[in-house]
Structure 1
Amino acid sequence: MLTSPLVLADVVAIALLVFGLFWRRDGRRELVVAFLTVNVGVLAVTAALSDGTVGAGLGLGLFGILSIIRLRSEELTQREVAYYFAALALGLLGGLTITSTLLGIALMTAILAAVAIGDHPRIAGRTVSQEMVLDQAWTDPAEATARVRTLTGIPTATATVVRVDLVNDTTLVVARYRPEDRPAVRDAPAEDTAPALADTSSLYLERSAR
Structure 2
Amino acid sequence: MDQTLLVVADLAAISVLTFAVYFPRHHRRDLIAAFLGVNVGVLAVAMTLSSSSVGIGLGMGLFGVLSIIRLRSDEIAQHEIAYYFSALALGLLAGLPEQVNVLSALLMALIVATMYVGDHPRLFGRYRQRSLRLDAAYTDEDALRAHLEVLLGGRVVNLSVRSVDLVNDMTLVDVRYLVTGEGPRTPRAPRAPREVGVQAEREQGVRA
Query: TM-score normalised to the size of structure 2?
Result: 0.73
Question: 1 CA distance for matches of 2:31 and 2:100?
Answer: 32
Q: Judge conservation of contact 1:6–1:94 (CA < 8 Å) in 2.
A: yes
Question: 1 CA distance for matches of 2:179 and 2:33?
Answer: 26
Alignment of 1:45-194 (within 5 A): 45-97=45-97, 101-125=101-125, 129-139=129-139, 141-150=141-150, 152-156=151-155, 160-165=159-164, 168=167, 170-176=170-176, 183=183
Q: Judge conservation of contact 2:50–2:98 (CA < 8 Å) in 1.
A: no
Return the letter of the residue paired with 1:67.
Answer: S
Q: Alpha carbons of 1:12 and 1:68: their partners in 2 closer, same or farther (altered >3 Å)?
A: same
Return the letter of the residue paired with 2:34.
Answer: A
Q: Judge conservation of contact 1:125–1:178 (CA < 8 Å) in 2.
A: no
Moved more, 37-46 or 73-82: 73-82
Q: Alpha carbons of 1:50 and 1:181: their partners in 2 closer, same or farther (altered >3 Å)?
A: farther
Moved more, 109-118 or 163-172: 163-172
Determine what percentage of the aligned residue pairs are the same residue: 46
Q: Alpha carbons of 1:66 and 1:179: their partners in 2 closer, same or farther (altered >3 Å)?
A: farther
Question: 2 CA distance for matches of 1:184 and 1:141?
Answer: 20
Residue equivalent to 2:9 = 9
Q: Deviations along 1:25-68, whole A, 9 cap, x unmatched? A: 23322211111111111111111221222111121112112222
The number of equivalent residue pairs is 184
Give ranges in structure 2 of 5+ residues lacking alignment. 186-208
Return the letter of the residue paired with 1:89.
Answer: A
Q: Give the C-alpha shift of residue 17 in structure 1.
A: 0.3
Give ranges in structure 1 of 5+ residues lacking alignment. 186-210
Give the secondary-structure state (helix, strand or coil) at the position aligned to 1:23.
helix
Q: Judge conservation of contact 2:131–2:173 (CA < 8 Å) in 1.
A: yes
Q: Give the C-alpha shift of residue 5 in structure 1.
A: 2.0
Give the secondary-structure state (helix, strand or coil) at the position aligned to 2:26.
coil
Return the letter of the residue paired with 1:161.
Answer: S
Residue equivalent to 2:28 = 28
Q: Judge conservation of contact 2:152–2:184 (CA < 8 Å) in 1.
A: no
